[in-house]
Structure 1
Amino acid sequence: MKAAGVLALMAGLITVTESKIYTRCKLAKIFSRASLDNYGGFNLGNWICMAYYESHYNTSAKTVLDDGSIDYGIFQINSFTWCRSEKLQEKNYCHVACSDLVTDDLTDSIICAKKIVKETQGMNYWQGWKKHCEGKDLSEWKKGCDVS
């Protein structure tokens, strides 16, 4: 009987932390509601384009870098500077656990991304944005998504 209860609890936890791959238009709506359009001078197309090239809209994306740090979530936010994992030397400027950046709830990721844009040099933090989105016409990224 105890084993069944434990299995039910574990199944519930797995469901809660399950990742999600968003569609472009669903992200456009979430980003719009989160006031990312024109945040830091970057229109919605920039945010959608950046998220695509950083994670392909996958909330569970993780990339281990050469320095041993890890980029987390839909915006690929780095563990050494912006979030907290197990290592003590991390700065955690966003005051968030890295594990909170790999869930289908994008609240913490968006708050941290806004902080990065505000406290660094805009979207230059993201290499995917610099390589694929910077200086380009990004109107297609929100086209057909019913966002203004």
Structure 2
Amino acid sequence: MCLVHYASYYDHTLNRSPSEYGIFQVNSYWWCADGHSFSHNLCGVSCDDLLDRDLRDDVNCLRRIVRDPNGLGAWSVWTKNCKGKNLYSYTTGC
């Protein structure tokens, strides 16, 4: 939840830059196909699909990214704001 807070402020429609998509701000060069530029598309998903209300493909892509050697370190917002911090406030009441 910390990643989602800092990456997109919980906005699943966010396309912050030409290459960052959805609630997790997934990068199109590595993880999704934007239809405009080269992509490794390691999640096997269209970037546009990461902008809709159905978060299943977003979560599946996140799971794939976390399995990568960089894991959550792929997001600078995670490293800067969440890694090694007390994240209790993000899960209270879950």
Q: TM-score scaled by structure 2?
A: 0.93
- Where does residue 44 of structure 2 map in the other structure? 95
Spell out the pairing of 1:78-117 with structure 2 (5 A cutoff). 78-117=27-66
Distance (whole Å) between structure 2 residues aligned to residue 85 and residue 132 of structure 1: 27
| Structure 2 unaligned residues grouped into runs of 5+ | none
Q: Secondary structure at the match of 1:63?
A: coil
> Are 1:49 and 2:2 an aligned pair?
yes
- Where does residue 119 of structure 1 map in the other structure? 68
Distance (whole Å) between structure 2 residues aligned to residue 74 and residue 54 of structure 1: 7
Distance (whole Å) between structure 1 residues aligned to residue 39 and residue 89 of structure 2: 37
> Are 1:63 and 2:63 an aligned pair?
no
Provide, for residues 6-48 of structure 1, a one-character-per-residue CA deviation record: whole Å limited to 9, x for no partner.
xxxxxxxxxxxxxxxxxxxxxxxxxxxxxxxxxxxxxxxxxx0
Q: TM-score scaled by structure 1?
A: 0.60
Percent pairwise identity: 35
Distance (whole Å) between structure 2 residues aligned to residue 131 and residue 88 of structure 1: 28
- Where does residue 136 of structure 1 map in the other structure? 85
Q: How many residues align?
A: 94
| Structure 1 unaligned residues grouped into runs of 5+ | 1-47
Distance (whole Å) between structure 1 residues aligned to residue 6 and residue 70 of structure 2: 19
Measured on the aligned residues, the alpha-carbon RMSD in Å equals: 1.2
Spell out the pairing of 1:2-17 with structure 2 (5 A cutoff). none
- Where does residue 75 of structure 1 map in the other structure? 24
Return structure 1 stretches of 4+ with deviation > 6 angstroms. none
